[in-house]
Amino acid sequence: MPANNFNILGLTNEQVILARKKFGKNKLDYKRESSFFDTVKRIVQDPMMILLLVASTIYFLSGNTGDGIFLTVAIIFQTSISLYQYSRSKDALEKLKDFSQPNCKVIRNGIIEEIKSEDLVVGDSLMVEEGTAITADGIIVHSNDFSVNESILTGESFAVFKDKTKEDKFIFSGTTVASGLAIATITAIGNETKLGKIGTSLESISEEKTPLEIQIANFVKKMAIAGAIVFVIVWVINYWHSQNMLNSLLQSLTLAMSILPEEIPVAFTTFMALGAWRLIQMGIVVKQMKTVETLGSATVICTDKTGTITENKMSLAKLFLLSSNKISQISDELDDDEKQLMAFAMWASEPIPFDPMEVALHKAYQDVAQSDKRPNYKLIHEYPLGGKPPMMTHVFESNKGNRIIAAKGAPEALMHVSNLTESEKQQINEAIKSLATDGYRVLGVGVSNFTGNTYPVKQQDLPFQFKGIVAFYDPPKKNIQKVLEDFYLAGITVKIITGDNAATTTAVAKQIGFRGYEKTITGDELMQLQEDELKTCVMETAIFTRMYPDAKLKIINALKSNNQIVAMTGDGVNDGPALKAAHIGIAMGKKGTEIAKQAASLILLEDDLSKMVNAVAMGRKIYANLKKAIQYIISIHIPIILTVFIPLALGWIYPNLFSPIHIIFNDYSIKETN
**pLDDT tens digit sequence for 328-343:** 998 888 899 999 999 9
Please give the C-alpha separations between residue 628 and each of 213, 670, 674, in angstroms, as whole numbers: 16, 13, 9
**Alpha helices, DSSP H only, in 243-310?**
245-259, 263-281, 291-295
DSSP-derived letter for residue 376 is G
Residues 440 and 460 in one domain: yes
Please give the C-alpha separations between residue 162 and each of 20, 21, 195, in angstroms, as whole numbers: 28, 31, 19
Q: Contact, 301 vs 495, CB < 8 A? A: yes
Residue 386 within any structural domain of the chain: yes
In angstroms, rounded to a whole number, what is the distance separating the alpha carbons of residues 37 and 43?
Answer: 10
Residue 616 within any structural domain of the chain: yes
Domain count, the chain: 2
Residues 295 and 383 in one domain: no
List of residues 6+ apart from 490 with CB closer than 8 A:
613, 616, 617
User: What pLDDT does residue 530 have?
Assistant: 93
In this predicted structure, the answer to whether residue 28 has a pLDDT above a threshold of 80 is no
Run of H or E including 360: helix 356-368
Residues 464 and 483 in one domain: no
How far the first Cα of the chain sits from its last, in Å, is 75
Residue 593 within any structural domain of the chain: yes
In angstroms, rounded to a whole number, what is the distance separating the alpha carbons of residues 580 and 189?
Answer: 24
Q: Give 43's pLDDT tier (boundaries 50, 70, 90).
A: low
Structural domain harbouring 361: 315-473
Residues 510 and 570 in one domain: yes
Indicate the range of 46-50, 135-139, 503-507 predicted with least confidence: 46-50
**Sign for the pseudo-dihedral over CA of 296, 298, 304, 305:** positive
In angstroms, rounded to a whole number, what is the distance separating the alpha carbons of residues 356 and 473?
Answer: 11
What are the tens digits of pLDDT across the range 144-190?
Answer: 878 888 877 775 656 788 888 877 899 998 888 887 889 999 999 98
Residues 349 and 440 in one domain: yes
The CATH number covering residue 405 comes to 3.40.1110.10
∠ CA 549-550-556, rounded to 5°: 90
Average pLDDT of the residues of the chain: 80
CB atoms within 10 A of CB 103: 12
Residues 483 and 511 in one domain: yes
∠ CA 251-257-260, rounded to 5°: 150
The CATH number covering residue 567 comes to 3.40.50.1000
In angstroms, rounded to a whole number, what is the distance separating the alpha carbons of residues 41 and 73?
Answer: 18
Residues 331 and 466 in one domain: yes
Q: Give 93's pLDDT tier (boundaries 50, 70, 90).
A: very low
Residues 577 and 512 in one domain: yes
What is the residue type of 273?
Answer: A
Q: Which residues pair with 585 in a beta bridge?
A: 568
Indicate the range of 141-145, 149-153, 451-455 predicted with least confidence: 149-153
Chosen domain end from 605, 620, 635: 620
Q: Give 599's pLDDT tier (boundaries 50, 70, 90).
A: confident
Run of H or E including 238: helix 211-242
Chosen domain end from 449, 473, 497: 473
Residue 337 within any structural domain of the chain: yes
Q: Contact, 409 vs 392, CB < 8 A? A: yes
**Alpha helices, DSSP H only, in 24-107?**
36-44, 47-62, 65-96
Q: Contact, 299 vs 494, CB < 8 A? A: no
Across the range 460-485, mean pLDDT stands at: 91
User: What pLDDT does residue 95 have?
Assistant: 40
Residues 319 and 457 in one domain: yes
What is the residue type of 82?
Answer: S
Residues 450 and 510 in one domain: no
Report the residue count for the chain: 674
In this predicted structure, the answer to whether residue 432 has a pLDDT above a threshold of 60 is yes
Position with higher pLDDT, 145 vs 610? 610
User: What pLDDT does residue 92 have?
Assistant: 37
Chosen domain end from 473, 505, 527: 473
Residues 528 and 543 in one domain: yes
Residue 98 within any structural domain of the chain: no
Residues 442 and 347 in one domain: yes
User: What pLDDT does residue 99 have?
Assistant: 39
Residue 248 within any structural domain of the chain: no
Indicate the range of 10-24, 117-131, 456-470, 612-626 predicted with least confidence: 612-626
Most confident of 263-277, 378-392, 477-491: 477-491
Residue 153 within any structural domain of the chain: no
Q: Coil, strand or helix: which one is 357?
A: helix
